[in-house]
């Protein structure tokens, strides 16, 4: 028997519950704020710990992040260091993010932001120059984890010219890959579309910055599907106003919900979505949680490990 506290609304649906029970027949689960009468459970599946959140029990052995990026859980001091944190790995979520990136890449091809602005001002101003082909459009993808790789290969399969950068070197069919600090500058050089899918870590904070924007082709589209902390907002504002960046598709923000008075809301070259670029799918999330539980049971390496346990209190 494994006891799981589900503390994310995306885990409350019947499809998720049925899929999890299919993978882990002896699971006993509760949907927060419900919980076991004795307060004890083995696994906490949560995106963000609410404020306040009941004290975590001694029985807890694993925190499963109900999302691809666990930066906020790693930083949460209410989670003791002896607990491992793993993140969800879900092909369905990766496919949604690939759709989002393709949407922005096609918007670039179709000059979408210009015509939106023209429409808002009642301006009829067709551009008759030959339209770019997909292969003409150079996309730079930052981050080659499971999601970044899916996004890069999907864009490449759609016909875009794709480069991708990761901290350590990776190979990906149909994609020119770069790594290391020098590789980053080379990867983004001349890009028309810059897609960020990096994890947020001290070395990636503010990486979407003025020096990077200056290397893009003027008028490039920026697509931030990572975290708000990756983006230097002042640099973005300057780059938008200087035409260095033609349009920014932003799905994640330093403060969420984005404060109503923030300049980003009303900038005509910014497209906002409320952090829905790729949501965990019920089947994929259940499968990922089940894989983590199985690894915990068998003391196998935890898939999606973000932070290892500081001590050894980690098997079921």
Footprint of ligand GLV on this chain (CB under 6 A)? 67-69
Closest CA to 225 of 164, 304, 151: 151
* CB-nearer residue toward ligand GLV: 239 or 291: 291
* CB-nearer residue toward ligand GLV: 85 or 239: 85
Q: Is 227 a catalytic residue?
A: yes
Rounded least distance, CB 251 to ligand GLV, Å: 8
Q: Which of 163, 269, 275, 287 is catalytic?
A: 275
* CB-nearer residue toward ligand GLV: 87 or 215: 87
Question: Cβ neighbours of residue 78 under 8 Å, at least 6 residues apart?
Answer: 49, 53, 56
Rounded least distance, CB 68 to ligand GLV, Å: 4
Rounded least distance, CB 151 to ligand GLV, Å: 13
CA distances from 195 to 172, 184, 278 (A): 16, 13, 14
The whole-angstrom separation of Cα 191 and Cα 184 is 12
- Sign of the CA dihedral running 17, 56, 257, 104: negative
- For helices 146-157 and 91-109, the axis angle rounded to 10 degrees is 40
Which residues partner with 142 through β-bridges?
165, 196
Q: Which of 138, 215, 227, 269 is catalytic?
A: 227
* CB-nearer residue toward ligand GLV: 67 or 304: 67
Rounded least distance, CB 127 to ligand GLV, Å: 35
Q: Is 215 a catalytic residue?
A: no
Instruction: Using DSSP, state whether 289 is helix, strand or coil.
Output: helix
Rounded least distance, CB 27 to ligand GLV, Å: 22
- The residue whose Cβ lies closest to ligand GLV is 67
What backbone torsions phi and psi does residue 189 show, to the nearest 5 degrees? -60, 120
CA 200 remoteness from chain centre: 9
Helix (H) or strand (E) holding 165: strand 161-166
User: Tokens 């859980």 appear where?
Assistant: 73
Strand 305-307 versus strand 85-87 pairing type: antiparallel
* CB-nearer residue toward ligand GLV: 79 or 240: 79
The whole-angstrom separation of Cα 219 and Cα 48 is 36
Residues designated as active site? 227, 275
């Amino acid at each position: 028997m494994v006891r799981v506290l589900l503390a994310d609304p995306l885990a409350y649906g019947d499809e998720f519950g049925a899929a999890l029970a299919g993978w882990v027949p002896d699971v006993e689960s509760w949907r927060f704020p419900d919980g076991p009468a004795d307060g004890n459970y083995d696994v906490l599946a949560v995106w963000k710990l609410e404020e306040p959140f009941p004290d975590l029990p001694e029985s807890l052995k694993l925190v499963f992040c109900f999302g691809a990026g666990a930066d906020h859980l790693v930083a949460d001091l209410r989670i003791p260091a002896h607990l491992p944190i793993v993140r969800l790995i879900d092909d369905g979520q990766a496919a949604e993010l690939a759709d989002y990136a393709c949407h922005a890449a096609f918007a670039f091809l179709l000059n979408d932001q210009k015509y939106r602005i023209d429409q808002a001002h009642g301006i009829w101003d067709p551009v008759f120059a030959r339209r770019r082909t997909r292969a003409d459009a150079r996309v730079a993808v930052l981050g080659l984890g499971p999601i970044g790789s899916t996004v890069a290969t999907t864009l490449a399969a759609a016909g875009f010219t794709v480069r991708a950068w990761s901290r350590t070197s990776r190979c990906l069919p149909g994609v020119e890959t770069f790594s290391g600090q020098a590789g980053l500058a080379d990867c983004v050089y001349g890009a028309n579309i810059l897609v960020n899918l990096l994890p947020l870590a001290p070395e990636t904070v503010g990486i979407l910055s003025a020096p990077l924007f200056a290397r893009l082709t003027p008028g490039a589209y920026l697509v931030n599907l990572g975290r708000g902390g990756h983006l230097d907002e002042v640099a973005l504002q300057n780059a938008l106003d200087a035409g260095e960046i033609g349009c920014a598709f932003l799905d994640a923000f330093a403060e969420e919900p984005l404060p109503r008075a923030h300049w980003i809301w009303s900038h005509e070259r910014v497209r906002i979505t409320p952090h829905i670029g790729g949501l965990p799918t019920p089947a994929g999330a259940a499968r990922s949680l089940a894989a983590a539980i199985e690894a915990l049971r068998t003391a196998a390496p935890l898939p999606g490990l973000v932070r290892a346990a500081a001590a050894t209190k980690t098997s079921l």
